[in-house]
A = this chain, B = another copy of it.
Amino acid sequence: MRYELYYWTGIQGRGEFVRLALEDAGATYIDVARVEGDQVMMPFLRGERSGARPFAPPFLRAGRLVVAQVANILAFLGPRHGLAPASEAGRLYAMQLQLTITDIVAEVHDTHHPISNDLYFEDQRPEARKRSKAFCEQRIPKFLDYFEHVLEHGDGRHAVGRRHSYVDLSLFQLMSGLDYAFPKTLKKVQRRTPHLRALRDRVAERPNIAAYLASGRRIPFNEDGIFRHYPELDESQATRMLRKSR
């Protein structure tokens, strides 16, 4: 099977979670927009091509099948490439963790776009600072404590069961992205995340991942992607006790 991956050129973005799985699996794939340009995705997004219409990139074509939404693509690829647990309980748990990663990634995006995706960062900067403060002080610790606990209460090395899975690859990407975007904040939680840091290092050393990271296919993090380094947004302070709403 030769897969076709469709995602915006020039950024890692959400496509990177899929790309890492394809690379780790040694799968044959074309990063179509990088060859033909972003406009190649438009007929799919307008619903003019056969197969499921995606709401947004990334989407993957596998034969006649079109699959969108990162967690869904990974759940599709996982069992085909030894990147998902065999049992139903394991697969449900992997999906649950992946969807929690999806949640924090959406929150990362909103640190620089808290008002609208249709405005530039510069046009929503005061709001971005407020949102990022809350994200760095409350949300990063809450999410990372959760994932750290997941590793600690598993075998210590893998998110799900005792085997490498797509969730490990996504946790690698999450930690890499957070380290890039919020280095001060990540430094503050460093001692609370030993298992996550060790997992990140182990994933980076997997032969296919190491080769990928060293290749030109791995676009560096930049300020057009989801994980953006704006120093003014990385100004975490001591966690304050705030009133809790739902």
Contacts and interface: CB of A to CB of B under 8 A. Distances in A.
A47 interface: yes
Nearest to A241: B118
A65 interface: yes
A13 B224 CA distance: 33
B246 A11 contact: yes
B72 A119 contact: no
Q: Which of A95, A118, A224, A244 has the most CB of B within 10 A?
A: A118
Contacts of A55: 100, 103, 143, 146
Nearest to A142: B55
Contact of A89 (B65, B92, B96, B100): B65
Within the oligomer, what is the number of copies of this chain?
2
Given A99-B72, A246-B117, A53 B127 contact: no
A117 B96 CA distance: 21
A166 to B, nearest CB: 14
B119 A149 contact: no
Interface string A23-58: 000000000000000000000000100001111000
Interface of A: 8, 11, 13, 47, 52-55, 65, 67-69, 71-72, 75-76, 89, 92-93, 95-96, 99-100, 102-103, 106, 110, 113-121, 124, 127, 130-131, 134, 138, 143, 146, 149-150, 153, 224, 242-246
Q: Which 8 A-B pairs have the closest CB atoms?
A: A116-B134, A118-B242, A69-B99, A55-B100, A52-B93, A72-B95, A115-B130, A69-B96
Given A67-B92, A116-B130, A118-B243, 5 more contacts: A47-B149, A72-B92, A103-B106, A114-B114, A119-B134
